[in-house]
Structure 1
Amino acid sequence: MNKTELVAKIAENAELTKAEAARALKSFEETVTEAMKNGDKISIVGFGSFETSNRAARTGRNPQTGKEIQIPAATVPKFKAGKTLKDSVN
């Protein structure tokens, strides 16, 4: 499912117009992104949680040449599915 299909499904399920559903989804994306930029954790009970994790700098290899390269430290987003979501999928 791509974003357009997701917006259509949200609009259908919530009885909204596609434009309203698109604005709601965009607002959700922006809110989660902003919170994660600030280092906050977002928990939606039953669905899951969004948070950031720090990845340390490390040495890697260029797969084409085999030459060692330095990979810088980074902050990466993480999503952990909640129990209700896990149970629904299984």
Structure 2
Amino acid sequence: MAAGATLTRADLAESLHREVGLSRADAARLVEQILSHMCEALSKGENVKISGFGSFILRDKGERIGRNPKTGVEVPIAPRRVLTFRASQMMRDRIVSAG
């Protein structure tokens, strides 16, 4: 994959087709099932950890006061839930050595 390129669901399915030997339809279905399972877990408030890759972590952020950068007027920022990704040490090592 070229630098700056984006890995897509279709790319993942194609890789499964080539490397595992699944049919294209089965590979696409498997990718969708995995992503669906991850989304379902996250929507239930569960974190998702993929060993050797990283963790998708949900954080609840409380209400706080922000400032409009243009006018300087203070505005309240509503509480919200955010999704963060933390790469595993193995992944960080691979990224550093690839760069």
Equivalent residue number for residue 19 of structure 1:
25
- Classify the secondary structure of the residue corresponding to 1:77: strand
TM-score by length of 2: 0.71
Task: Name which of structure 1's ranges 26-35 and 36-45 shifts more when overlaid on structure 2.
Answer: 36-45
Letter in 2 for 1:77: L
Task: Name which of structure 1's ranges 13-22 and 60-69 shifts more when overlaid on structure 2.
Answer: 60-69
CA–CA distance in structure 1, aligned partners of residues 58 and 20 of structure 2: 30
Deviations 1:4-62 (A, max 9, x none): 22322232222222222221111111111111122222222211122211111222334
1:20-39 residue pairs with structure 2 within 5 A?
20-39=26-45
TM-score by length of 1: 0.76
CA RMSD of aligned residues (A): 2.0
- Classify the secondary structure of the residue corresponding to 2:29: helix
Letter in 1 for 2:77: I
1:88 aligns with 2:94: yes
Percentage identity across aligned positions? Answer: 31
- Classify the secondary structure of the residue corresponding to 1:87: helix
- Structure with greater contact order relative to length (CA < 8 Å, sep ≥ 6): 1
